[in-house]
Amino acid sequence: MTHRQLTKAMTLMGISQIALAKALETDERSVRRWMTGASPVPVAVALLLNLMAVTKTKLEDLRP
């Protein structure tokens, strides 16, 4: 997943940088780096977002 694809996926699903960082238990700076292309989007993050898009899962559904 490219940084442009990440940005598009987050926009389509209504996910903010802060919300994604909290859900992944990672630093908001990491998400910002992925979105700008400064760091590659981790494969696990790409897979999760793709799965969420296909199954129409929301971030709040990921937490118990």
Query: Which three-class secondary structure string do you get for 19-58?
Result: HHHHHHCCCHHHHHHHHHCCCCCCHHHHHHHHHHHHHCCC
> What's the confidence (pLDDT) of residue 64?
64
What global pTM score does this model have? 0.85
Task: Report the interhelical angle of 28-36 vs 3-13 (nearest 10°).
Answer: 120
For residue range 23-47, what is the model confidence (pLDDT) as tens digits?
999 999 999 999 999 999 999 999 9
Helix (H) or strand (E) holding 14: none
> What's the confidence (pLDDT) of residue 60?
86
Domain ranges, residue 45:
3-62
CATH of the domain at 37: 1.10.260
State percent of the chain over pLDDT 90: 88
Total number of domains in the chain: 1
Cβ atoms 49, 8 nearer than 8 A: no
Instruction: Round the average pLDDT of the chain to a whole number and report it.
Output: 93
